[in-house]
Amino acid sequence: MKFAFFDTKPYDKPSFDRYGKEYGVSFKYFETKLNEDTVDLAQGYDGVCAFVNDTVNAAVIQRLAELGIKVLALRCAGFNNVDMKYAFGKIHVLHVPAYSPYAVAEHTMALLLTSIRRIHKAYIRSRDFNFSLSGLTGFDLHGKTVGVIGTGRIGRVFIEICRGFGMKVLAYDKYPAKGLDNGDTVRYVTLDELLANSDIISLHCPLTEETNHIIDADAIDKCKKGVVLLNTSRGALVDAEALLTGIKSRKIGAACLDVYEEESDLFFEDNSGHILEDDTLARLISMPNVIVTSHQAFLTEEALENIAETTVKNIVGFFETNQCPNELCYRCGEAEDCKDGKCF
Ligand code: NAI
């Protein structure tokens, strides 16, 4: 089997080559992202392998179908970049539901600690032999309340980490997890209660029509003054303009972002020699209390191994049996719980 692999980065190849060789799947690596201009590169391949910032809209899906491509293997969990409704009946969409919730949850805590203990400032100071502590005062996490929006795989690992720090957890999820609320240190509450009572808020829900801008100006208004906002999920969960306003007004004490609404043309690439066109991002990055990483939370050795293994097994399994437990269905969003048993 031959797959066209879009948006390739050097760290993708070793594990995909290894698992591909083991299971008989060869990958043609394209550095370019998948979009309407590049989709024809997929001609002659059995399928396409895409990542978070590839564009899989109706036009791309239509062209892939015309090229006879039956399978889109996402090497990620999120699928907000795929027009799932349009894909129905045209192309099978496989994904990697979980590869390391620890990678993302641990990065979220790394960002939080960096921010509130001013490690990013201290690091730069000490490299310049500036050993002054002025302006580096942080606060203890112990005893603070963290609001976790989305208590799936990553959200639950993050909750465990926070409990290790002696924090109280307020959780919000459209589908609360059984057994998580202990009536004391971890409690499910409404979104408004979470916003009003959390010192720190961390986003771990998927990006859907419902969660788009779940943190907007209204939500920020409802937050405690000085709240620390963490987003390692998807950029468009947060209205970036509203976030900037919240930071300028001092309502938001700090923000740590691994994702950004308009990241697709910027993140994962070296733009250091270019003029940044996005004024909102530039202004956010200029703030002393904002930390931005470039969609890096997933990037651990363990996660890369698991992504490659699951993606290759998804492909092989699908071509052997015409089914895959990790196929996504637009009707229910998740193959594992697919009420139809198969997507089409
Ligand atoms: P998951 O599917 O295990 O958990 C998502 C949770 O969000 C579920 O409990 C679900 O019920 C909840 N949810 C769905 N709709 C909601 C709504 N409207 N309001 C509140 N909660 C809602 O997903 P997982 O593995 O925990 O991943 C979470 C997100 O993290 C992914 O959707 C993806 O966007 C992001 N992610 C980011 C990565 C990075 O490198 N920064 C890497 C991997 C995932």
At 78 the pLDDT is 87
Residue 233 Cα to ligand 1 middle (Å): 7
Radius of gyration of the chain (CA): 21
Mean pLDDT of 54-78: 96
What atom in ligand 1 is closest to the CA of residue 156? 26
Domains along the chain?
2-99+301-337 (3.40.50.720), 101-292 (3.40.50.720)
- Measured CA to CA, the distance from residue 20 to residue 28 in angstroms comes to 11
CA angle 280–107–31, rounded 5-degree value: 65
The pLDDT assigned to 339 comes to 47
Cα–ligand 1 centroid distance for 168 (angstroms) = 21
Instruction: Answer whether 142's CB lies under 8 Å from 167's CB.
Output: yes
Bridge partner residues of 82 (DSSP): 56
Tell me, letter by letter, the H, E, C secondary structure of 267-308: CCCCCCCCCCCCHHHHHHHHCCCEEECCCCCCCCHHHHHHHH
**CB of 98 shorter than 6 A to ligand 1:** yes
Q: Does ligand 1 have an atom closer than 6 angstroms to the CB of 198?
A: no
pLDDT band at 329 (very low <50, low <70, confident <90, very high): confident
Q: Are strands 26-29 and 71-74 parallel, antiparallel or unpaired?
A: unpaired
Q: Are 338 and 46 in contact (CB under 8 A)?
A: no
Q: Which atom of ligand 1 is nearest to the CA of 210?
A: 18
Confidence band (pLDDT; 50, 70, 90) for 341? very low
From the CB of residue 40, how many other CB atoms can be counted at a distance below 10 Å?
A: 11
* Residue 338 reports pLDDT greater than 60: no
177-232 pLDDT tens trace: 999 999 999 999 999 999 999 999 999 999 999 999 999 999 999 999 999 999 99
The catalytic residue positions are 234, 263, 295
pLDDT at 268: 86
Task: Specify the pLDDT at position 344.
Answer: 47
Q: Is the pLDDT of residue 59 over 80?
A: yes
Q: What is the pLDDT of residues 268-321, one digit of tens each?
A: 889 999 999 999 999 999 999 999 999 999 999 999 999 999 999 999 999 999
User: Average per-residue pLDDT in the chain?
Assistant: 94
What pLDDT sits at residue 334?
Answer: 53
Residue nearest to atom 3 of ligand 1 (CA): 152
**pLDDT confidence band for 150 (50 / 70 / 90):** very high
Which ligand 1 atom is the nearest neighbour of the CA of 155?
A: 26
pTM exceeds 0.95: no
What is the pLDDT at residue 332? Answer: 55
Amino acid 322: pLDDT: 87
Residue 93 makes CB contacts below 8 A (sequence gap 6+) with 72, 74, 79, 82, 84, 87, 327, 328, 343
Q: Is the pLDDT of residue 336 over 60?
A: no
- Across 110-136, average pLDDT: 98
Return the pLDDT at 262.
Answer: 86
**CB of 297 closer than 6 A to ligand 1?**
yes
